[in-house]
Amino acid sequence: MDNPVLVEVFRGGLVESRHRGAVAVVDADGKTAFAVGDIAAPIFPRSAVKPLQALPLVESGAADRYGLIDEELALACASHSGEPAHVEGVARMLSLAGLDVSALACGSHWPSSQAAAFALAKTGTPSALHNNCSGKHAGFLCVACSLGIDHAGYWRPEHAVQLEVHAVLEDLTGVPLPPDRRAIDGCSVPTWALPLKNLALAFVKFGTGRGLPPARARAAARLLAACAQKPWYVAGTGRFCTEVMHQFGSRALVKTGAEGVFCGVLTELGLGIAVKFDDGAGRAAEAVMAALLARFLDLSDRDRAALARFVQPALRNWNGIEVGALRLTKRI
Amino acid sequence: MDNPVLVEVFRGGLVESRHRGAVAVVDADGKTAFAVGDIAAPIFPRSAVKPLQALPLVESGAADRYGLIDEELALACASHSGEPAHVEGVARMLSLAGLDVSALACGSHWPSSQAAAFALAKTGTPSALHNNCSGKHAGFLCVACSLGIDHAGYWRPEHAVQLEVHAVLEDLTGVPLPPDRRAIDGCSVPTWALPLKNLALAFVKFGTGRGLPPARARAAARLLAACAQKPWYVAGTGRFCTEVMHQFGSRALVKTGAEGVFCGVLTELGLGIAVKFDDGAGRAAEAVMAALLARFLDLSDRDRAALARFVQPALRNWNGIEVGALRLTKRI
């Protein structure tokens, strides 16, 4: 099925580029509250499901055993920018489990924060701690160590930690995830192709606890509260996920994923959201997520003004001249 | 008209993202040799037309007056990476015209070369010389100074330099470019929306001289030769445009533009090429341009092997594991 154009990129008065995508908004009963495009086709959620992948960290008792604080739980759910406090937090998580950076299997990349990258380049090169997924990986390692399992190969599909993550994803999404739905994510752990509607369902269960066993619901609530309390640790300075959660607190959890994915939950409304752009355009996914927040949440004037720059972001050139804008089509 | 999917992004065995686009390949008579999608709809060529925008630099006599060498003519056609020799070359162009960096109106940004950006960050911040368009702007300034025109506002549509660039674009493309086709490019000069087929026609005229007045044909040949001789100055270390022109010399000129545009000319075959991806995906435009080179050029085994990594680029994760690939659909 062809997904419709949801975002147009204007330059002057003409459309320069356009992005097609699909959106699923569902309630905790799995009933569709809003949908555009094909919400049954499997898509890779990538980093958008990190909050779900962090559930075993709490459920296993590892978070309690190591006394993880909100900042560290938020890092386990994060695609962080590699800023100094992100890196220090992940290092602390590892040390609490008796490990260090050498245990991380996520690989290294430069911080996405330009300031952090430039500062680091003055004295060295990035380690796996700077990888945007390092907090998730530190969480996986804490689970293995807390359970007394050999942590070697914790990223492989057949390792006990990944088997548990797989079970959590099947439980929350309500769909079986056989090996032919599996690919390898940027940080080497499995990523599982899922229909958007099931992804939205998983997020509303996560954000409300509805349909979850009590222990799983409590673990989700703890992670949600940690992200709401410490949203800077979920992304970083100036990032959309951080800004939204800073503004709305526990009313909304939003999480970006590579290749044009965005997921979220509006807790007070009991609505889960999943967005995927066919072409992988993050700029479009972010604008649509902002528009969905504006559509569904009961906003103050201040809230609405704060969201506006994300819903219809201006394109400015190197001289700061406004040369165009992203504009949503009428579908949202 | 809906353009077809030309490139699929595989992760494991599944398609994660897909890119729609259009391709025009035309001969110097304007006859279409190959086309996919809508080649009549106007698109913004952005930086892909820099070689055409550089024609006044030679035609006006400015290149001769200032004794510009091949490196500098290539910089006038370039989207360079801001590496030190790029920056030094542009500074020299300006000094030959009696100007300095303060005359540049392109704005500043960090070098796209990570190594150059990190080196610069150790001691300072970027100037307009580091802007990828600074060579084109230095060329515009040389034209103004050579003609004895006030160079202030050389980037405005109504300035004599931009009026001349506009006339060149109308001449080569064969289409009128009224003000409602104009928008502002990233570097503040006008960009004019053009049908892909006319963009391809302009490139084949540029690359073969066919259909051009003798002086314009000579100017184009000089710019083409400069890019073929000094392809590093057209882009930079490891970049596709540089690699292709290094490999094929004057047989092929290729030039990238923002938002999924690629243009080129296969001089020995007398074919002009223009590619635009609907979503602005540069990764897709580059793969298709590589595939078009492989389809039309008579290649040695070595040539074919060198192109293969651009035609079907592997996706590797942070550990270097191959997790997927871009694959062209059967249409090319």
pLDDT at A174: 97
| Length, in residues, of chain B | 332
Tokens 């039309």 belong to B296
Tell me if B188 and A280 make a contact (CB, 8 A cut-off). Answer: no
Q: Which residues pair with A263 in a beta bridge?
A: A255, A274
Q: Which residues pair with A271 in a beta bridge?
A: A27, A266
pLDDT at B320: 92
Q: Which residues pair with A266 in a beta bridge?
A: A252, A271
Alpha carbon of residue A314 to chain centroid: 24
DSSP B153: T
Q: Quote the CA–CA distance of B306 and B185 in Å, as a whole number.
A: 33
Q: Quote the CA–CA distance of B279 and B38 in Å, as a whole number.
A: 14
SS3 state at B227: helix
Contacts of B125 in chain A (CB under 8 A): none
SS3 state at B51: helix
Contact between A285 and A291 under an 8 Å Cβ cutoff? The reply is no
Query: CB contact, 8 Å: B17 with chain A?
Result: yes
Tell me if A44 and B16 make a contact (CB, 8 A cut-off). Answer: yes
Q: Quote the CA–CA distance of A288 and A332 in Å, as a whole number.
A: 8
Tell me if A280 and B281 make a contact (CB, 8 A cut-off). Answer: yes
pLDDT at A207: 98
Contacts of B324 in chain A (CB under 8 A): 183
Contacts of B275 in chain A (CB under 8 A): none
Q: Give which of B250, B243, B323 is closest to B289, Cα–Cα.
A: B243
Of A18, A117, A181, the CB nearest to B279: A18
Q: Quote the CA–CA distance of A284 and B260 in Å, as a whole number.
A: 15
Tell me if B318 and A106 make a contact (CB, 8 A cut-off). Answer: yes
SS3 state at A108: coil
Q: Quote the CA–CA distance of B90 and B101 in Å, as a whole number.
A: 9
Tell me the CB-side half-sphere exposure of residue B107, using CA atoms within 13 A.
13
Tell me: pLDDT of B263 over 80. yes
Contacts of B31 (CB under 8 A, 6+ apart): none
- The question of ipTM being above 0.95 is answered as yes
Handedness of CA A274, B316, A143, A85 (dihedral sign): negative
Q: Which residues pair with B316 in a beta bridge?
A: B322
Q: How many CB atoms lie within 10 A of CB B258?
A: 20
Tell me if B318 and A108 make a contact (CB, 8 A cut-off). Answer: yes
Tell me if A17 and B105 make a contact (CB, 8 A cut-off). Answer: no
Which tens digits make up the pLDDT trace of A278-307? 999 999 999 999 999 999 999 999 999 999
Contacts of A3 in chain B (CB under 8 A): none
Query: CB contact, 8 Å: B131 with chain A?
Result: yes
Tell me if B319 and A105 make a contact (CB, 8 A cut-off). Answer: yes
Q: How many CB atoms lie within 10 A of CB B52?
A: 25
Tell me if A281 and B279 make a contact (CB, 8 A cut-off). Answer: yes
User: What residues 29-68 of chain A have any CB closer than 8 A to a CB of chain B?
Assistant: 42-44
**Which of A16, A44, A118 should one mutate to test binding to chain B, selecting the residue with the greatest count of B CBs within 10 A?**
A16
Query: CB contact, 8 Å: B108 with chain A?
Result: yes
Query: CB contact, 8 Å: B323 with chain A?
Result: yes
pLDDT at A332: 79
Q: Quote the CA–CA distance of A29 and B316 in Å, as a whole number.
A: 39
Q: How many CB atoms lie within 10 A of CB A95?
A: 13
pLDDT at A323: 96
Tell me if A14 and B181 make a contact (CB, 8 A cut-off). Answer: yes
Contact between B53 and B16 under an 8 Å Cβ cutoff? The reply is no
Tell me the CB-side half-sphere exposure of residue B165, using CA atoms within 13 A.
28
Tell me if A42 and B14 make a contact (CB, 8 A cut-off). Answer: yes
Contacts of A277 in chain B (CB under 8 A): 17
Tell me: pLDDT of B332 over 90. no
Contacts of B44 in chain A (CB under 8 A): 11, 14, 16
pLDDT at A29: 96
SS3 state at A50: helix
Q: Quote the CA–CA distance of B123 and B102 in Å, as a whole number.
A: 20
Task: Please give the single-letter amino acid code of residue B59.
Answer: E
Which tens digits make up the pLDDT trace of B281-316? 999 999 999 999 999 999 999 999 999 999 999 999
How far A40 CA sits from the closest chain B CA (Å)? 14
Contact between A260 and B16 under an 8 Å Cβ cutoff? The reply is no
Q: Quote the CA–CA distance of A307 and A80 in Å, as a whole number.
A: 21
Which band of pLDDT confidence, cut at 50, 70 and 90, is reported for residue B317?
A: very high
Pairing of strands A14-27, B271-277: unpaired
Query: CB contact, 8 Å: A125 with chain B?
Result: no
Considering the entire predicted model, what is its pTM? 0.97
Averages of pLDDT over runs of 10 residues in chain A (332 residues) are 93 97 97 97 98 98 98 98 98 98 98 96 94 98 98 98 98 97 97 98 98 97 98 98 96 98 98 98 98 96 93 93 93 74
User: What residues 213-272 of chain A have any CB closer than 8 A to a CB of chain B?
Assistant: 259-260
For B46-192, where are the E strands, in sequence order? 182-184, 190-192
Which tens digits make up the pLDDT trace of A20-34? 999 999 999 999 999
Q: Which residues pair with A195 in a beta bridge?
A: A42
Q: Quote the CA–CA distance of B30 and B205 in Å, as a whole number.
A: 10
Of B107, B183, B318, the CB nearest to A12: B183
SS3 state at B241: helix
pLDDT at A1: 61
pLDDT at A205: 98
pLDDT at A309: 92
Contacts of B285 in chain A (CB under 8 A): none
pLDDT at B1: 61
Tell me if B319 and A11 make a contact (CB, 8 A cut-off). Answer: no
Of B122, B181, B317, the CB nearest to A187: B317
What's the N-to-C CA distance of chain A in angstroms? Answer: 19
Long-range contacts of A303-308 (CB under 8 A, 24+ apart): A303/A247, A303/A248, A306/A243, A306/A247
Instruction: Tell me how many degrees the CA angle B262-B190-A323 measures, rounded to the nearest 5.
Output: 90
The average confidence (pLDDT) of chain B is 97
Q: Which residues pair with B264 in a beta bridge?
A: B254, B273
Q: How many CB atoms lie within 10 A of CB B290?
A: 25
Average pLDDT for residues B4-9, to the nearest whole number? 97
Can you read off the two tokens belonging to residue B308?
């293969």
Which tens digits make up the pLDDT trace of B189-237? 999 999 999 999 999 999 999 999 999 999 999 999 999 999 999 999 9
**Cα dihedral angle (A49, A53, A55, A61), rounded to 10 degrees?**
-160
Q: Quote the CA–CA distance of A234 and A256 in Å, as a whole number.
A: 10
Q: Quote the CA–CA distance of B84 and B129 in Å, as a whole number.
A: 10
Contacts of A314 in chain B (CB under 8 A): none
Tokens 């073929």 belong to B228
**Which of A278, A316, A322 should one mutate to test binding to chain B, selecting the residue with the greatest count of B CBs within 10 A?**
A278
Q: Give which of B35, B27, B61 is closest to B222, Cα–Cα.
A: B61
What's the N-to-C CA distance of chain B in angstroms? Answer: 19
Q: Quote the CA–CA distance of B30 and B39 in Å, as a whole number.
A: 12
For A73-222, where are the E strands, in sequence order? 182-184, 190-192, 194-195
Contact between B307 and B60 under an 8 Å Cβ cutoff? The reply is no
Of B43, B281, B318, the CB nearest to A279: B281
Contact between A103 and A86 under an 8 Å Cβ cutoff? The reply is no
Average pLDDT for residues B65-93, to the nearest whole number? 98
Q: At what angle are helices A160-173 and A196-208 packed, to 10 degrees?
A: 100
Query: CB contact, 8 Å: A18 with chain B?
Result: yes
Contact between B69 and B57 under an 8 Å Cβ cutoff? The reply is no
Q: Quote the CA–CA distance of A288 and A251 in Å, as a whole number.
A: 18
Tell me if A278 and B17 make a contact (CB, 8 A cut-off). Answer: yes
User: What residues 161-190 of chain B have any CB closer than 8 A to a CB of chain A?
Assistant: 180-188
Q: Give which of B169, B171, B170, B151 is closest to B161, Cα–Cα.
A: B151
E strand or H helix that includes residue A324: strand A322-328
